[in-house]
Amino acid sequence: MALAGALVAGCALLPPAPAAGPPSPAGVADPALERATAALAAADAGTALRTAVRASVRVRSIGCEGVETGSGFALDEHTLVTNAHVVSGAERLQVDTWDGHQLAVTGSIAATVADLAVVRTREALPASVPLAGADPDGGEAVTVVGYPRGEALARAAGVVTALVDDPLGASSAPALQVEARVAPGSSGSAVVDGGGAVVGVVYAGATTGEHAYAVPVSVLREALDASTSTSDRAASATTPAC
């Protein structure tokens, strides 16, 4: 799967601070102060989103049947998350960072609870993104960050609809439905909230491209807890015989 969002733009400069003026009467909002406060909030959100962008990676799965492309994101210096179907059947995995570096993979673990995989890298990843403490509410604004069709890093704005049953019928775990345009290559993309924390992992999308389905962060945390007990078997998951 992949995104159909706009290309990541350069960082915007903060507007100059408003000129000092006479204090507003009690109980009357100061428009200049409101604009400055909104600008600072937007800058904070932009910084958080830039961190998610820097933590995003492109994953190429090279196997017996050819090359499949997906997305992923870093949890720490040597650990990233993507989808199990992205790494399934891979003879070799190739991980590219947002700034063009290619990292060697030491192994991967596919989760059993949902379409998730944990991948370990030999070299350090350039940035990592935090996980949200809870699943998002319906109506919450989010951003999907990944590599549309395996091409340039992109982001797509969206809104959380609800927790729903897995539309593929492959998992008993709930799915997060998001109104956001996705396409092949977006699988494994991070869904981040306004603070830049991951609330879901994209794994499917409607054929119209208008809806994305993601593994919610609560299920991701469960899968990560389970993966710590099987890390010693990670290397065997990426080396099938053709």
Lowest model confidence (mean pLDDT) among 56-60, 158-162, 206-210: 206-210
Kindly report, residue by residue over 29-60, the tens digit of the pLDDT. 667 777 766 665 666 667 888 999 999 999 99
> Is the alpha carbon torsion for 5, 103, 213, 167 positive or negative?
positive
Task: Give the domains, in start order, of the chain with CATH numbers.
Answer: 54-128+222-238 (2.40.10.10), 141-218 (2.40.10.10)
20: confidence class by pLDDT, cuts 50, 70, 90: very low
Phi, psi of 161 (to 5 degrees): -90, -60
**pTM of the predicted model over 0.85:** no
| pLDDT value at residue 29 | 61
Angle at the Cα of 224 from the Cα atoms of 191 and 65, rounded to 5 degrees: 75
Indicate the residue type of 1: M
Can you point out the beta strands (E) in the chain?
Answer: 2-3, 6-7, 56-63, 66-76, 79-82, 90-97, 102-103, 105-110, 117-121, 141-146, 154-164, 175-179, 182-183, 190-192, 198-205, 212-216
Query: Residue 58 is encoded by which pair of tokens?
Result: 């492109």
| pLDDT value at residue 4 | 35
Higher per-residue confidence, 189 vs 150: 189
DSSP state of 50: H
Kindly report, residue by residue over 90-106, the tens digit of the pLDDT. 889 999 999 999 999 99
